[in-house]
Each structure stands twice: as C-alpha cells, then as structure tokens.
Amino acid sequence: MRISVSLFTAFLLIFSISCAQEPDNQVSTPTKVPFTAELLIDEMQIPWGIAFLPDGGLLVTEKSGELIHFLNGQKTKVSNIPEIYVRGQGGFMDVALHPDYENNGWIYFSYSSNEGEGKGGNTAISRAKLKDNSLTNNELIYKGSPNTSKGQHFGSRIVFDKKGYLYFSIGDRGARDENPQNIKKDGGKIYRLNADGSIPADNPFVGKEEAKTAIYSYGHRNPQGLTVHPETDAVWNHEHGPRGGDEINIVEKGANFGWPVITYGINYSGTTITDKTKMNGMEQPIHYWVPSIAPSGMAFVTTDSYDGWKGSLLVGSLAFQYLERLEMDGSKVISRERLLDGLGRVRDVRQGPDGLIYVAVEGKGVYKLTPKE
C-alpha cells in the first residue's frame, strides 16, 4: 500500500516549516568562496548516496530505486538491483565500497525493503558485485524488523572503519516510545557487523537475552550521517532531531544517546517532548542545532585543496538548502560557515579520492567543488 501523495506532501510541508521557523544567525556566509561548483551528474531527483570506484567512476543511488554508474561523462543505470520498497522517506539510500574493493569487489547498499514478516518495510543492508553494469552475487546481510507501513525514519548511512567493521544506521521508524531505548528491537540504533554480515564477538550486547546483537549504540532518532574521523578512527554520526535538536555524536560501544528521554528539540506542533536535556547514563551530543537544519550527509576534509578547510566537518542541510562547514578544534565546533546557499536540499557530501568535494543536491544532481586557482 502506498502513502497518499497529498498526505505525504502535507507532511513534508509541515516538516519543512517546523525545521525552518527562524533563520540561523550563528552560521556565517563567506565573503570569498574558494571553489566553483560544477554540475557533474545532472537530472537526478534525490541522489541519496555516492561511492567512488577505483577507475574514476562513481556510483550514485537514486531514492526512487535506481543505481547510476557514472563514468567518462556517461550515466548508465545498473540492473539487477535489490527490490526497493519506496515509501515516505524510504527508498534506495546509501552505497559504500568495501575497504579492499579492488581485491574483493564488494559493494554495500542500504535501502528500504518489504522482505520478512508484516506489511510495509524496514531498512535492509545488502552487498553485491558489479559486472557489466549489472549487480551479481547479491546477498542480504541485515534486515531490520518488524516491517511497518510508517513512512519515516529509515536512516540510513553505511561506513567502514579502519579495522574493516561495517557500521550502519536505522532510524526509530516513527516509533520513538518503542524502539530507540529497547535493545531487543531494531530502530533508533547504530549497528556494527563484520563485512560478511556476521556479528563481531565483542559487540556490546552479545550474550544479552533477546538483544539485537548487531547493535553498537542506541537511543538515536534518525541518523542520516556517518563518517570516520581520519585521525582517531572513531565513528561520528549526525541525526535529525524533531523541531530543533539535530545532533552530532561520537559513537561509542554500548552507549545510550538518549532519544526520546532527553532531547534539545520539541514536537513539530510546538509541544514539549520532555523537560530533560541531560540524564546520567545518557550521552551528550558534541554539537546540536536549534533550529534544525535537517542534516544529511557528512564528511571530514583531509585535503589541502581548499584553503583553511583541512580538519573541517561538512554537513548537508535539507531544511535550509545549503552545505555547512564546521570548523573543529578536536571534538568542539568553533565556527560554522554556510556554503552553496540556496542551491537546493543537500542530501550527501563526500571527499573523493582526488581530494575534491562532491555534493549531491536534490532536483539537480552531483556537483564537484573545484578549487579556484
């Protein structure tokens, strides 16, 4: 069953208005932009995730259920992709290569799937190999349960750390009082797997009765950003708050990040969710946004290509339609800068192997930020 277009459009309108109640005067606009934005891949509606192939090609997921292979200026649709359950915020989401892709060829995907029991769908993780613009060796390695017809909060990002562990996120699936604080249920979690889908023996809830042993941390709302710190190898995430209270967190083994018991946000209607922003045993974000920027996509800058950017964190804003650069001092945000202002809803941001920044913008496509001479 598909959600009514009018109802979903109304939901998006309310969400956008709620997230953007007032301008954010803590973020500056640069007087001199050190790049030009070149539209590299055009005519995409919701380019959700980007991965870079060793031959210079790119893989880009389209939320509606397509995988685009871009090489030498040509776009090709990849065939034999997983069956995608497109509903609300769910669809074809992230894509990532195995760290040893050149030797094993594995590509990983996150998407909403209706496999399993019950009506509706939930977030799934699979892997496959690419041959002649078709996926082969498809394997489902994790599927959130149970299915639900709710259309919100699927997550979902994928990232590998330097030890080869696979991390991914699933949002609370619109069941904030049921899923995020319950380790026996999927939803509102960051997960960790071995690359073949098996559970690492030292995952924090291995041996806990009825626990979902893939869980690495819990108490999350809807994480749509995951990245690995280039120096510490710690996994960082950001997640959508409700109205206000979007967060950046450093993911820790077994940690509880508090949703919905603590939050810096309120309901979209303006009513209170909780009067608590802190509680013993629950982690504090290293940064939070009020009002919400609706963050999506996340990347550390390790290149010297852009003057003064090295060490910064880049985050896309869906609500305010810009790319945010956060200047960091360790884990502290010391300044914020607004880039690509008004270009469109920034869905993903990545640093490519060429040291350049690539930005996926809804209704446009994928931009390459070319440094000015």
HSE-CB for 154 with a 13 A CA cutoff: 31
The answer to whether residue 6 scores a pLDDT higher than 50 is: no
pLDDT at res. 24: 63
Cα dihedral 279→236→267→5 (10° resolution): -150
| 362, part of any domain | no
153 in active site: yes
Residue 282 is part of which domain span?
Answer: 33-292
Burial class, 223, CB count within 10 angstroms (exposed 0-12 / middle 13-18 / buried 19+): buried
The answer to whether residue 20 scores a pLDDT higher than 90 is: no
| 273, part of any domain | yes
Q: Predicted confidence band at 32 (pLDDT cuts at 50, 70, 90)?
A: confident
Dist CA 144 CA 326 (whole Å): 32
**Inter-residue contact 111 to 93 (CB < 8 Å):** yes
Dist CA 221 CA 230 (whole Å): 25
| 26, part of any domain | no
Return the H-helix or E-strand segment holding 335: strand 332-339
Q: Predicted confidence band at 274 (pLDDT cuts at 50, 70, 90)?
A: very high
Burial class, 145, CB count within 10 angstroms (exposed 0-12 / middle 13-18 / buried 19+): middle
| 351, part of any domain | no
Q: How far is CA 147 from CA 124, 217, 253, 357, in A?
A: 11, 21, 26, 36
Q: Which residue among the candidates 69, 98, 153, 220 is catalytic per the annotation?
A: 153
Q: What is the mean pLDDT of residues 260-268?
A: 97
| 247, part of any domain | yes
Number of domains in the chain: 1
Dist CA 328 CA 311 (whole Å): 7
| 299, part of any domain | no
- Laid out side by side, the sheet with 223-228 consists of 223-228, 235-239, 246-250, 287-289
HSE-CB for 327 with a 13 A CA cutoff: 12
pLDDT digits (tens, 9 = 90+) for 305-344: 999 999 999 999 999 999 999 999 999 999 999 999 999 9
Longest dimension (CA), the chain: 59
Q: Which two tokens stand for residue 155?
A: 């997550």
| 340, part of any domain | no
Q: Predicted confidence band at 303 (pLDDT cuts at 50, 70, 90)?
A: very high
| 369, part of any domain | no
Dist CA 228 CA 221 (whole Å): 20
| CATH code for position 40 | 2.120.10.30
Q: How many other CB atoms are found less than 10 A from the CB of residue 228?
A: 17
